[in-house]
Structure 1
């Protein structure tokens, strides 16, 4: 979890899940109307007056979104290895940068097989391992005597002079008075990233034997997400409190527990990054491998330029989820209603027409809010972290283990 208020985070979790459910159903309806759609780039062109610039704009955003997600997995892979090592070591030159580069190369190799059949099996395995990992995190948070970093009395860092977290875990039902707009919005952006994945759905719907069965899988996935994320996030927070929460949350566990739970994330670290590297091309395998290598090198650079997990998540949400999680699907709704001859709020005077029209306007405005205020909050949060000295510098050799 990435916020300091249990009730707020649970409400946002449910609300975000339901918004993603609704917009995914809009996307599905749009794909059924346009079976020629192959990916989100085609949808982008259709939504914005069938202009070629809209296809290219969507394609650039699509590739950047995927590359940033690859960067997140490079960063997480380096965090995992450094966590296992347990700190600084002289055995590896420029420790974090070297490990991140190795993770990027391994991920590139794993990206080369590119059939949906292979990816579906890898995705299923990754989901199972992730479930085991988060359940172990909950169990360990409950059985350990104290969260990592626990101090019974107030303590000051001898190097920086800053007061370290201390005392029993403090669990609040509402946000603390010290919660700023920047920190609160960044927390929401972190939660949103976990749910928003509509960018991949057009390709999967196109590959389904019976696309009309898509809502069954969507409903099952949404219900399980709400249950798992709410229980896991709430339970870990309840045992960890405001002072000792980390991002990712594995860092709040004692060293042995942290290493065990984090280890089950290995398939997810590698194969979900691979999923987002799986872009289409019509040229041969050599060029395909070169394109993938370029995206992973760019991901490596991004991971080392923004070397902190929470802020990279927020940047992803603000720049890309604003379009692919909200704006596109609100526009898609109105485009479909226009094709039906009844644009809500104008011609459709039914209660449902008014409510759906208002809802989709809110969805579009939410996306604009993510893009503007969200980007501001993310950038300001990064600046604040650098000024406070709580994060490492770009391309730092120091361990980034949790």
Structure 2
């Protein structure tokens, strides 16, 4: 009885402490919003609806069209299960990020969180910053290449791919110039809507086109399997799993989004709306397109499995997403660098010539680096998988398991059955992240080796068409 009484007293004390902490967090957040009222540029201006627009633009993206390929490897049933489970984990870890940011309203981005998680270490902050920069820049580079792929597809490869890549980078540069996320939220919402239409059209076209692109009597009618496809290996199965994981795992940008909200306590509204949409859209796209295309004809992205006219129509609706999502990651990176340069300067919040010249130069720098990365690496898709394994293992799992353990230090993490189970689950997230770090790195390197053996690796700065 004494033990139960002590446990109950500890729980009540923890609840009271949580209420007091919540009040303190609200006051500290209100103070930070108030501090900006005299500034020319105010950063904490996003409503939860505008934040939802940013989240939708991040998650409702071209990578959805790779889900039919993942489903073809894992099988229909396992593909659906993995998608739902990973979406649930991303939802949970995103809520951990939100709770962590409420407790630490000084957080501007994931780099600040890296410093806090490792006891205020400047080394941890700088290493996180390096990971943060390269993660975002590789995503920008992907959009440079996808933009070139789109232009090559629509024009039947009428121009050199390098020229199309330059065009993509320049257009994205201009859309990354706004200095607040609120200014970008409308375009983000528009890009999510057009991407949703692209996915819808792709699903419809896959059903009405009759036969998939490059259909042959030799390969036969589309084959669909409930379980893993015959001949699936650990490398292909892990690649399919990681493809789903990386597409759903966009937590790296969430601290930056929360840092520009008027009322961060409303963030879960935006998060739940996006998660529900994700589960519905991702599963429908993966399952329905796999059903009509079959394991023999599926491509990633699945636009490549549509006949020429349908492919061009559906692919053209992705233009806003290709431009905006790369621009969003450029803006987030530029904001981190800009704030470091002008930590305590009035230029940080002002429309001065120095501020705008510096901001423009930083954004331009990120796109130059992205263009070079996109063109200089002939096995870019495999390299992107390798970088995702190294970075996303931390930014999707390990960091947030650690963040939970930081939120509930000492014996607090074991108060009650529910809290204890949650603590065990967060240790599982850390282990899962470490597994993805090791296994994902192995699979990516093996894929690079296989690509070289198959002689399917191109050359750097190539003019060859990369059209679907």
TM-score by length of 1: 0.91
**CA distance change for structure 1 residues 316 and 203 in 2, over 3 Å: closer, same or farther?**
same
Q: Deviations over 1:214-254 (max 9, x none)?
A: 11111111011000110111111110111111111111100
Note the 1:294-333 alignment, pairs <5 A: 294-306=365-377, 310-311=381-382, 313-333=384-404
Say which SS state the counterpart of residue 100 (structure 1) adopts: helix
Q: Could you say which residue in structure 1 is the equivalent of 2:4?
A: none
CA offset at residue 379 of structure 1? 1.8
Note the 1:2-401 alignment, pairs <5 A: 2-3=69-70, 4=72, 5-87=75-157, 89=158, 92=159, 95-153=160-218, 166-278=219-331, 279-280=334-335, 281=338, 282=342, 284-306=355-377, 310-311=381-382, 313-338=384-409, 341-344=410-413, 348=414, 350-401=416-467
Q: Hey, what's the Cα distance between the residues in 2 that align with 1:23 and 1:327? A: 10
CA offset at residue 386 of structure 1? 2.7
CA offset at residue 324 of structure 1? 0.9
Q: Hey, what's the Cα distance between the residues in 1 that align with 2:415 and 2:264? A: 31
CA offset at residue 263 of structure 1? 0.4
CA offset at residue 357 of structure 1? 1.6
Q: Hey, what's the Cα distance between the residues in 2 that align with 1:8 and 1:394? A: 37
CA offset at residue 77 of structure 1? 0.5
* Higher deviation after alignment, 2-11 or 243-252: 2-11
Say which SS state the counterpart of residue 294 (structure 2) adopts: helix
CA offset at residue 85 of structure 1? 1.8
Work out whether residues 137 and 369 of structure 2, in 8 Å CA contact, stay in contact via their aligned partners in 1. Answer: yes
Say which SS state the counterpart of residue 247 (structure 1) adopts: coil
Runs of 4+ in 1 over 4 A off after TM superposition: 306-310
Unaligned ranges ≥5, structure 1? 154-165
Q: Hey, what's the Cα distance between the residues in 1 that align with 2:164 and 2:442? A: 31
CA offset at residue 375 of structure 1? 1.3
Work out whether residues 69 and 316 of structure 1, in 8 Å CA contact, stay in contact via their aligned partners in 2. Answer: no
CA offset at residue 168 of structure 1? 0.8
Q: Hey, what's the Cα distance between the residues in 1 that align with 2:435 and 2:363? A: 32
**CA distance change for structure 1 residues 172 and 390 in 2, over 3 Å: closer, same or farther?**
farther
**CA distance change for structure 1 residues 140 and 309 in 2, over 3 Å: closer, same or farther?**
farther
Q: Could you say which residue in structure 2 is the equivalent of 1:160?
A: none
Q: Hey, what's the Cα distance between the residues in 1 that align with 2:429 and 2:230? A: 29
Structure exhibiting the larger radius of gyration computed from Cα positions: 2
Q: Hey, what's the Cα distance between the residues in 2 that align with 1:395 and 1:124? A: 34
Q: Deviations over 1:64-83 (max 9, x none)?
A: 11101101111110110111
**CA distance change for structure 1 residues 349 and 111 in 2, over 3 Å: closer, same or farther?**
closer
Say which SS state the counterpart of residue 418 (structure 2) adopts: helix
CA offset at residue 183 of structure 1? 1.2
Unaligned ranges ≥5, structure 2? 1-66, 348-354
**CA distance change for structure 1 residues 38 and 207 in 2, over 3 Å: closer, same or farther?**
same
Say which SS state the counterpart of residue 207 (structure 1) adopts: coil
Work out whether residues 138 and 384 of structure 2, in 8 Å CA contact, stay in contact via their aligned partners in 1. Answer: no
Which is richer in helix?
Answer: 2
**CA distance change for structure 1 residues 54 and 380 in 2, over 3 Å: closer, same or farther?**
same
* Higher deviation after alignment, 388-397 or 67-76: 388-397
Q: Deviations over 1:124-165 (max 9, x none)?
A: 011000100000000000000111111112xxxxxxxxxxxx
Q: Could you say which residue in structure 2 is the equivalent of 1:158?
A: none
Work out whether residues 16 and 192 of structure 1, in 8 Å CA contact, stay in contact via their aligned partners in 2. Answer: yes
* Higher deviation after alignment, 31-40 or 2-11: 2-11
Q: Hey, what's the Cα distance between the residues in 2 that align with 1:180 and 1:394? A: 30
* Higher deviation after alignment, 301-310 or 182-191: 301-310
CA offset at residue 289 of structure 1? 2.1
